[in-house]
Amino acid sequence: MSGKERRRVRVGLVGAGFVARLHAEAYHHVHGLDVELTCVAAARRERATKFAAEFGVGRIESDLGAVLSAPDVDVVDLCSPSYLHADMAIAAARAGKHVIVEKPLTGFFGPAATPRREMLRQALSSADAVIDACRGGKVRLCYAENWVYAPPVQKARRLLAAAGGPILRLVGEESHSGTHAPVNKRWDTGGGGSLLGKGCHPLGAALYLKADEGVRLRGRPIRPVSVSAETANLVATETFRAAGTPFLNTVEGADVEDWGAMLVGFDDGTVAQIAAADTVLGGIRNQLVAYGARAMVICNINPNNVVQAYAPDGAVFGEEYLVEKLETKAGWSSPQPDEDWTSGYPQEIQDFMEAVALGREPLSGGALARDVTAVIYGAYLSAAEGRRVDLRPLLREDVAQVLK
């Protein structure tokens, strides 16, 4: 709308890869306030240059330090590898810049042989350091959990609120056929496997919906209290190896799980079943089902049937995008007419920009990120020790208060 009294938010991007492109696209769709993409820094400068030209970014900076010392940057958007998130976020907070961090907020990054209890300790300590630095710097911490913003999840929230009563059970999953990027397949760079990289999404949405319900029903968020989990490395099984050329993406040297499932208990006696896998053919599956006491809501983020297409062979649709991680373009598929929108990316960036411009908390912030960290690393501990893990000692109550 009219620019007369429009507020302006100036963004410095760190990273110029896949996620940075998703965000840049979303910044261009922000409405109601002016977003300026001031500068971008990336490990490979030529990539930053190309990115800047494509998305109208003002200038290239050499590194994070340069972005942080730029006076014309209000918020830093960290689209960097997971193992760099925490240090970068802390540096940004100390420089007085608002921070946007991609999921996962942080984690444990080290040898696979590290005891899971130690992993959990380090991951929580790292999350706390980020949160405390942001508080200390009086800057917003925006946790880029797009499922919170995905239109189907928000519609579910509104329907469940209208229906009243508790959500008795949530069942969620994000799965696909795995990544080609070794960085995400090792503990030292990825901080975990399927549970962390994919499970964070349905878990984040589930924690968000239960927190929202708590505020609605009793004035404070409902929190997770326990987790029982199992993990597996399914592509390491003998029968998989014997099954011939794999259709699933496998990576040499992978040391993380490619399947995980968590049974989460909440402080109101209700439950969630969260699963994540890198061993699913047929395109990404992003689904969440809420079984309420008074209503049921199914969210088909992906796939869904808004568009159904058929090609008699795999070459017919050429370069036209169908859906993430589909092995063949032949046969029937469910092409996404606008995957970004259904996934919540523009809505997420819109919220972050408004949070920064208006001085309020984003819907998805540090409190959610920390709970996700506690549950997932709690799940790793559970799977390793073959027992239920009590989450209560692992949560920060001061953080819960801001969770909306």
Q: How far is the CB of 237 from a second copy (least distance, A)?
A: 4
User: Which of positions 222-241 make contact with a second copy (CB under 8 A)?
Assistant: 228-230, 232-240
Q: Which x/- pattern, by CB under 8 A, does the window 54-73 give for a second copy?
A: --x-----------------
Taking the CA atoms of 113, 117, 230 and 146 in sequence, report the sign of the dihedral they define. negative
Distance of CA 171 to the CA centre of its chain: 17
Q: How far is the CB of 135 from a second copy (least distance, A)?
A: 30
Q: Would you count residue 193 as binding a second copy (CB under 8 A)?
A: no
Q: Closer to a second copy by CB, 45 or 317: give it.
A: 317
- Looking at the DSSP bridge assignments, the partners of residue 231 are 260
* # binding residues, a second copy (CB under 8 A): 112
Q: How far is the CB of 310 from a second copy (least distance, A)?
A: 4
- The position carrying tokens 């709308």 is 1
User: Which of positions 323-382 make contact with a second copy (CB under 8 A)?
Assistant: 326-338, 341-342
Stretch touching a second copy by CB under 8 A, among 13-21, 46-54, 97-105, 266-274: 266-274
- The position carrying tokens 């917003």 is 140
Q: Closer to a second copy by CB, 48 or 299: give it.
A: 299
Q: Closer to a second copy by CB, 82 or 154: give it.
A: 154
Terminal CA-CA length for the chain: 28
DSSP state at residue 194: H
* 3-state secondary structure at position 327: coil
Determine which residue in the list 46, 247, 360, 401 makes contact with a second copy, applying CB under 8 A. Answer: 247
User: Which of positions 153-192 make contact with a second copy (CB under 8 A)?
Assistant: 154-156, 158-159, 161-166, 168-169, 171
CA distance 148 to 144: 9
Q: Angle at the Cα of 347 (from 345 to 351), degrees rounded to 5?
A: 115
Residue 373 contacts residue 347 (beta carbons within 8 Å)? no
Residue 145 contacts residue 138 (beta carbons within 8 Å)? no
Q: Closer to a second copy by CB, 35 or 196: give it.
A: 35
Name the maximum alpha-carbon separation found in the chain: 66
Q: Closer to a second copy by CB, 110 or 265: give it.
A: 265
